[in-house]
Protein backbone atom coordinates (compact mmCIF):
# COMPACT_ATOMS: atom_id res chain seq x y z
CA UNK A 1 0.00 0.00 0.00
CA UNK A 2 1.19 3.49 -0.81
CA UNK A 3 1.77 5.32 2.46
CA UNK A 4 1.34 8.88 3.64
CA UNK A 5 3.84 9.74 6.34
CA UNK A 6 2.34 10.85 9.63
CA UNK A 7 4.30 14.11 9.53
CA UNK A 8 3.05 14.88 6.01
CA UNK A 9 -0.54 14.11 7.03
CA UNK A 10 -0.24 16.39 10.05
CA UNK A 11 1.15 19.16 7.86
CA UNK A 12 -1.72 18.86 5.39
CA UNK A 13 -4.35 18.79 8.12
CA UNK A 14 -2.83 21.97 9.51
CA UNK A 15 -3.08 23.61 6.07
CA UNK A 16 -6.77 22.63 5.91
CA UNK A 17 -7.54 25.16 8.64
CA UNK A 18 -9.63 28.06 7.26
CA UNK A 19 -9.16 26.93 3.65
CA UNK A 20 -12.21 28.10 1.72
CA UNK A 21 -13.97 25.45 -0.37
CA UNK A 22 -17.15 26.02 -2.37
CA UNK A 23 -19.76 23.24 -2.31
CA UNK A 24 -22.60 23.30 -4.83
CA UNK A 25 -25.27 20.62 -4.98
CA UNK A 26 -28.38 19.07 -3.47
CA UNK A 27 -28.92 20.08 0.14
CA UNK A 28 -30.86 17.80 2.47
CA UNK A 29 -31.91 17.48 6.07
CA UNK A 30 -31.27 14.08 7.64
CA UNK A 31 -33.71 13.40 10.46
CA UNK A 32 -33.03 10.47 12.78
CA UNK A 33 -35.69 9.08 15.10
CA UNK A 34 -34.10 6.79 17.68
CA UNK A 35 -36.00 4.30 19.80
CA UNK A 36 -36.73 0.74 20.81
CA UNK A 37 -38.86 -1.95 19.20
CA UNK A 38 -40.47 -4.20 21.78
CA UNK A 39 -43.53 -5.47 19.93
CA UNK A 40 -45.15 -6.03 16.54
CA UNK A 41 -48.03 -3.82 15.42
CA UNK A 42 -51.44 -5.56 15.62
CA UNK A 43 -52.59 -4.15 12.27
CA UNK A 44 -49.53 -5.22 10.23
CA UNK A 45 -46.41 -7.42 10.68
CA UNK A 46 -44.11 -4.47 11.34
CA UNK A 47 -42.24 -3.43 14.49
CA UNK A 48 -43.61 -0.65 16.66
CA UNK A 49 -40.72 1.70 17.40
CA UNK A 50 -41.10 3.72 20.58
CA UNK A 51 -39.25 6.96 19.77
CA UNK A 52 -36.98 8.15 22.57
CA UNK A 53 -35.04 10.95 20.91
CA UNK A 54 -34.58 12.84 17.66
CA UNK A 55 -31.40 14.16 16.03
CA UNK A 56 -30.89 16.31 12.96
CA UNK A 57 -27.93 16.35 10.60
CA UNK A 58 -27.15 18.18 7.39
CA UNK A 59 -27.29 15.73 4.48
CA UNK A 60 -26.42 15.55 0.80
CA UNK A 61 -24.16 18.36 -0.39
CA UNK A 62 -24.62 19.90 3.03
CA UNK A 63 -22.87 16.92 4.58
CA UNK A 64 -19.87 17.61 2.35
CA UNK A 65 -19.81 21.13 3.82
CA UNK A 66 -20.19 19.71 7.34
CA UNK A 67 -17.22 17.40 6.70
CA UNK A 68 -15.16 20.34 5.48
CA UNK A 69 -16.06 22.33 8.59
CA UNK A 70 -15.20 19.38 10.85
CA UNK A 71 -11.76 19.22 9.21
CA UNK A 72 -11.24 22.90 10.02
CA UNK A 73 -11.95 24.37 6.60
CA UNK A 74 -14.26 27.31 5.79
CA UNK A 75 -16.92 25.94 3.43
CA UNK A 76 -19.42 28.02 1.51
CA UNK A 77 -22.57 26.34 0.21
CA UNK A 78 -24.75 26.88 -2.82
CA UNK A 79 -27.97 24.94 -3.20
CA UNK A 80 -31.73 25.11 -2.88
CA UNK A 81 -34.16 24.91 0.02
CA UNK A 82 -37.91 25.14 0.12
CA UNK A 83 -39.85 27.99 1.63
CA UNK A 84 -40.87 25.81 4.56
CA UNK A 85 -40.18 24.87 8.17
CA UNK A 86 -37.67 22.21 7.18
CA UNK A 87 -35.73 24.82 5.23
CA UNK A 88 -35.48 26.86 8.42
CA UNK A 89 -34.39 23.77 10.33
CA UNK A 90 -31.72 23.07 7.70
CA UNK A 91 -30.34 26.61 7.93
CA UNK A 92 -30.38 26.31 11.71
CA UNK A 93 -28.15 23.24 11.49
CA UNK A 94 -25.74 25.08 9.19
CA UNK A 95 -25.59 28.00 11.61
CA UNK A 96 -24.69 25.65 14.48
CA UNK A 97 -21.43 24.85 12.70
CA UNK A 98 -20.85 28.42 11.51
CA UNK A 99 -21.58 27.86 7.83
CA UNK A 100 -23.03 30.87 6.07
CA UNK A 101 -26.32 30.20 4.28
CA UNK A 102 -26.62 33.45 2.30
CA UNK A 103 -25.89 31.74 -1.04
CA UNK A 104 -28.66 29.14 -0.61
CA UNK A 105 -31.54 29.90 -3.00
CA UNK A 106 -35.14 29.58 -1.77
CA UNK A 107 -37.43 27.82 -4.25
CA UNK A 108 -41.07 28.07 -3.19
CA UNK A 109 -42.08 25.50 -5.83
CA UNK A 110 -40.36 22.59 -4.09
CA UNK A 111 -40.01 21.28 -0.53
CA UNK A 112 -36.74 21.14 1.34
CA UNK A 113 -35.45 17.60 0.85
CA UNK A 114 -35.78 15.60 4.08
CA UNK A 115 -34.77 11.99 4.73
CA UNK A 116 -36.25 10.55 7.90
CA UNK A 117 -34.64 7.41 9.29
CA UNK A 118 -36.20 5.42 12.10
CA UNK A 119 -33.59 3.51 14.06
CA UNK A 120 -34.22 0.89 16.72
CA UNK A 121 -31.36 -0.67 18.70
CA UNK A 122 -28.85 0.99 16.32
CA UNK A 123 -30.45 -0.68 13.29
CA UNK A 124 -32.26 1.13 10.49
CA UNK A 125 -35.91 0.08 10.40
CA UNK A 126 -37.21 2.31 7.60
CA UNK A 127 -36.45 5.54 5.74
CA UNK A 128 -39.04 8.03 4.50
CA UNK A 129 -38.11 10.69 1.91
CA UNK A 130 -39.83 14.02 1.29
CA UNK A 131 -38.49 15.57 -1.91
CA UNK A 132 -39.02 16.86 -5.43
CA UNK A 133 -36.46 15.60 -7.93
CA UNK A 134 -37.37 17.52 -11.07
CA UNK A 135 -34.70 19.96 -12.33
CA UNK A 136 -34.85 23.50 -10.95
CA UNK A 137 -36.37 26.06 -13.30
CA UNK A 138 -34.35 28.52 -15.36
CA UNK A 139 -34.77 31.37 -12.87
CA UNK A 140 -33.49 29.32 -9.93
CA UNK A 141 -30.61 27.95 -12.02
CA UNK A 142 -29.60 31.48 -13.01
CA UNK A 143 -29.48 32.47 -9.32
CA UNK A 144 -27.33 29.44 -8.52
CA UNK A 145 -24.89 30.24 -11.34
CA UNK A 146 -24.72 33.89 -10.31
CA UNK A 147 -23.92 32.94 -6.71
CA UNK A 148 -21.24 30.52 -7.95
CA UNK A 149 -19.52 33.13 -10.13
CA UNK A 150 -19.63 35.68 -7.30
CA UNK A 151 -17.93 33.29 -4.85
CA UNK A 152 -15.46 31.69 -7.27
CA UNK A 153 -12.63 34.27 -6.86
CA UNK A 154 -12.65 33.74 -3.09
CA UNK A 155 -12.21 29.94 -2.91
CA UNK A 156 -9.34 27.43 -3.23
CA UNK A 157 -11.37 24.42 -4.32
CA UNK A 158 -14.80 23.28 -5.49
CA UNK A 159 -16.98 20.26 -4.78
CA UNK A 160 -19.96 19.46 -7.01
CA UNK A 161 -22.19 17.13 -5.00
CA UNK A 162 -24.87 15.60 -7.22
CA UNK A 163 -27.64 13.64 -5.51
CA UNK A 164 -30.05 13.91 -8.48
CA UNK A 165 -32.50 16.11 -6.58
CA UNK A 166 -32.67 18.74 -9.33
CA UNK A 167 -29.92 21.26 -8.58
CA UNK A 168 -27.06 19.89 -10.71
CA UNK A 169 -28.42 20.16 -14.25
CA UNK A 170 -26.42 19.69 -17.46
CA UNK A 171 -26.83 23.37 -18.33
CA UNK A 172 -25.61 24.43 -14.88
CA UNK A 173 -22.51 22.24 -15.28
CA UNK A 174 -21.82 23.78 -18.68
CA UNK A 175 -21.91 27.25 -17.12
CA UNK A 176 -19.73 26.63 -14.05
CA UNK A 177 -17.15 23.93 -14.79
CA UNK A 178 -15.19 25.58 -17.64
CA UNK A 179 -14.93 28.84 -15.68
CA UNK A 180 -13.54 27.10 -12.58
CA UNK A 181 -11.03 24.97 -14.49
CA UNK A 182 -9.90 28.01 -16.50
CA UNK A 183 -8.94 29.64 -13.19
CA UNK A 184 -6.93 26.55 -12.12
CA UNK A 185 -9.24 25.82 -9.21
CA UNK A 186 -9.47 22.06 -8.47
CA UNK A 187 -12.96 20.71 -9.10
CA UNK A 188 -14.02 17.44 -7.42
CA UNK A 189 -17.31 15.87 -8.50
CA UNK A 190 -19.35 13.31 -6.58
CA UNK A 191 -21.41 12.02 -9.53
CA UNK A 192 -24.65 10.32 -10.41
CA UNK A 193 -24.96 7.91 -13.30
CA UNK A 194 -27.36 9.82 -15.55
CA UNK A 195 -25.05 12.82 -16.05
CA UNK A 196 -21.63 11.21 -16.46
CA UNK A 197 -21.14 12.69 -19.92
CA UNK A 198 -21.60 16.21 -18.52
CA UNK A 199 -19.00 16.04 -15.72
CA UNK A 200 -16.24 17.81 -17.59
CA UNK A 201 -14.03 19.69 -17.50
CA UNK A 202 -13.15 18.59 -13.96
CA UNK A 203 -10.10 17.67 -11.92
CA UNK A 204 -11.41 14.41 -10.48
CA UNK A 205 -14.68 12.47 -10.34
CA UNK A 206 -15.42 10.05 -7.48
CA UNK A 207 -17.97 7.35 -8.43
CA UNK A 208 -18.63 4.38 -6.20
CA UNK A 209 -18.18 0.91 -7.68
CA UNK A 210 -21.82 0.49 -8.74
CA UNK A 211 -21.79 3.87 -10.49
CA UNK A 212 -18.48 3.10 -12.19
CA UNK A 213 -19.70 -0.29 -13.43
CA UNK A 214 -22.99 1.13 -14.71
CA UNK A 215 -21.40 4.11 -16.44
CA UNK A 216 -18.74 1.99 -18.15
CA UNK A 217 -20.88 -1.07 -18.83
CA UNK A 218 -18.14 -3.30 -17.38
CA UNK A 219 -18.33 -5.38 -14.20
CA UNK A 220 -15.36 -4.95 -11.88
CA UNK A 221 -14.73 -8.64 -11.32
CA UNK A 222 -11.02 -8.75 -12.11
CA UNK A 223 -7.95 -6.54 -12.13
CA UNK A 224 -8.11 -6.41 -15.91
CA UNK A 225 -11.71 -5.21 -15.92
CA UNK A 226 -10.97 -2.66 -13.20
CA UNK A 227 -8.31 -1.17 -15.48
CA UNK A 228 -10.76 -1.14 -18.38
CA UNK A 229 -13.38 0.64 -16.28
CA UNK A 230 -10.91 3.33 -15.29
CA UNK A 231 -9.79 3.82 -18.88
CA UNK A 232 -13.33 4.06 -20.20
CA UNK A 233 -14.44 6.51 -17.52
CA UNK A 234 -11.46 8.77 -18.15
CA UNK A 235 -12.35 8.77 -21.84
CA UNK A 236 -15.96 9.68 -21.02
CA UNK A 237 -14.78 12.44 -18.70
CA UNK A 238 -12.28 13.73 -21.29
CA UNK A 239 -9.20 13.11 -19.18
CA UNK A 240 -10.35 13.91 -15.66
CA UNK A 241 -8.86 11.71 -12.96
CA UNK A 242 -11.14 9.07 -11.46
CA UNK A 243 -11.27 7.74 -7.90
CA UNK A 244 -13.53 4.71 -7.57
CA UNK A 245 -14.64 4.04 -4.00
CA UNK A 246 -15.06 0.29 -3.57
CA UNK A 247 -16.23 -0.34 -0.01
CA UNK A 248 -14.24 -3.08 1.68
CA UNK A 249 -11.90 -3.16 -1.35
CA UNK A 250 -10.77 0.40 -0.63
CA UNK A 251 -10.29 2.87 -3.49
CA UNK A 252 -8.83 2.76 -6.99
CA UNK A 253 -7.23 5.89 -8.42
CA UNK A 254 -6.76 6.51 -12.15
CA UNK A 255 -4.66 9.56 -12.86
CA UNK A 256 -1.89 9.34 -15.44
CA UNK A 257 -1.85 7.01 -18.45
CA UNK A 258 -4.80 5.13 -16.92
CA UNK A 259 -2.49 3.36 -14.45
CA UNK A 260 -4.50 2.05 -11.51
CA UNK A 261 -3.29 2.72 -7.97
CA UNK A 262 -5.20 0.77 -5.35
CA UNK A 263 -5.59 2.20 -1.86
CA UNK A 264 -6.76 -0.59 0.48
CA UNK A 265 -9.38 0.16 3.11
CA UNK A 266 -8.09 0.83 6.61
CA UNK A 267 -11.45 0.75 8.44
CA UNK A 268 -11.29 -1.66 11.39
CA UNK A 269 -15.01 -1.58 12.14
CA UNK A 270 -17.85 -0.62 9.80
CA UNK A 271 -21.10 0.38 11.48
CA UNK A 272 -22.65 2.68 8.87
CA UNK A 273 -21.47 3.84 5.43
CA UNK A 274 -23.98 6.72 5.36
CA UNK A 275 -22.21 9.80 4.05
CA UNK A 276 -18.79 8.17 3.63
CA UNK A 277 -18.64 9.36 0.02
CA UNK A 278 -19.19 12.92 1.25
CA UNK A 279 -16.21 12.53 3.58
CA UNK A 280 -14.05 11.25 0.74
CA UNK A 281 -14.82 14.07 -1.69
CA UNK A 282 -14.49 16.73 1.05
CA UNK A 283 -11.06 15.48 2.15
CA UNK A 284 -9.94 15.01 -1.44
CA UNK A 285 -10.89 18.59 -2.34
CA UNK A 286 -9.08 19.98 0.68
CA UNK A 287 -5.95 17.99 -0.10
CA UNK A 288 -5.81 19.24 -3.68
CA UNK A 289 -6.58 22.82 -2.60
CA UNK A 290 -3.69 22.70 -0.12
CA UNK A 291 -1.08 21.44 -2.57
CA UNK A 292 -1.20 17.70 -1.93
CA UNK A 293 -0.79 15.31 -4.83
CA UNK A 294 -3.78 13.36 -6.09
CA UNK A 295 -2.50 10.20 -4.41
CA UNK A 296 -1.75 11.93 -1.10
CA UNK A 297 -5.24 13.42 -1.13
CA UNK A 298 -6.81 10.01 -1.87
CA UNK A 299 -4.90 8.30 0.94
CA UNK A 300 -5.88 11.00 3.42
CA UNK A 301 -9.51 10.70 2.27
CA UNK A 302 -9.28 6.96 2.86
CA UNK A 303 -8.25 7.53 6.48
CA UNK A 304 -11.03 10.08 7.01
CA UNK A 305 -13.59 7.64 5.59
CA UNK A 306 -12.29 4.99 7.99
CA UNK A 307 -13.21 7.28 10.88
CA UNK A 308 -16.70 8.00 9.57
CA UNK A 309 -17.82 4.43 8.80
CA UNK A 310 -17.07 3.48 12.41
CA UNK A 311 -19.89 5.80 13.52
CA UNK A 312 -23.67 5.34 13.25
CA UNK A 313 -25.59 7.85 11.14
CA UNK A 314 -24.45 10.85 9.12
CA UNK A 315 -21.02 11.60 10.57
CA UNK A 316 -17.87 13.65 10.10
CA UNK A 317 -14.18 13.29 10.98
CA UNK A 318 -12.04 15.82 12.85
CA UNK A 319 -8.31 16.35 12.20
CA UNK A 320 -7.56 14.74 15.58
CA UNK A 321 -9.59 11.65 14.65
CA UNK A 322 -7.88 11.36 11.27
CA UNK A 323 -4.45 11.61 12.86
CA UNK A 324 -5.44 9.00 15.44
CA UNK A 325 -6.58 6.70 12.61
CA UNK A 326 -3.22 7.16 10.87
CA UNK A 327 -1.29 6.59 14.10
CA UNK A 328 -3.27 3.42 14.75
CA UNK A 329 -2.59 2.13 11.24
CA UNK A 330 1.14 2.70 11.55
CA UNK A 331 1.19 1.18 15.04
CA UNK A 332 -0.41 -2.04 13.84
CA UNK A 333 1.01 -2.33 10.31
CA UNK A 334 4.46 -0.75 10.15
CA UNK A 335 7.38 -2.61 11.68
CA UNK A 336 10.07 -0.54 13.43
CB environment 42-63: b (16+ within 10 A), e (fewer): eeeeebebeeeeeebbbbbbbb
Which among 107, 257, 278, 327 is annotated as catalytic?
A: 278
Strand partners, 119: 34, 124
Active site residue 278: yes
* Contacts of 316 by beta carbon, 8 Å cutoff, 6+ apart: 63, 66, 67, 69, 70, 71, 279, 308
Q: Report the 10 Å Cβ neighbour count for 234.
A: 18
Q: Report the 10 Å Cβ neighbour count for 145.
A: 18
Strand partners, 254: 242, 260
Q: Using the 8-state DSSP alphabet, how is residue 312 labeled?
A: S
50: three-class secondary structure by DSSP? strand
Residue 87, CA distances (Å) to 20, 58, 122, 198 in order: 24, 11, 27, 29
* Contacts of 7 by beta carbon, 8 Å cutoff, 6+ apart: none
Rounded distance between C-alpha atoms, residue 63 and residue 82, angstroms: 18
Just list the catalytic residues: 278
Amino acid sequence: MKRLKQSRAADLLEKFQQTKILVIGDLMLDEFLWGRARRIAPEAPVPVVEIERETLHIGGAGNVAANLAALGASPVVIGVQGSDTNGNRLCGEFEKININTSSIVIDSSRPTTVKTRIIAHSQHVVRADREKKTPVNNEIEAQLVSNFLDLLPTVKGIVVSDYEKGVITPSLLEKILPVAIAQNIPVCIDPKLKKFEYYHPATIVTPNQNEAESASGIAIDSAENLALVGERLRQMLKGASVLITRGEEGMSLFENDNEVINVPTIAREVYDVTGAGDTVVATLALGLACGASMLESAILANYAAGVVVAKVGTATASPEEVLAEIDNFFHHNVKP
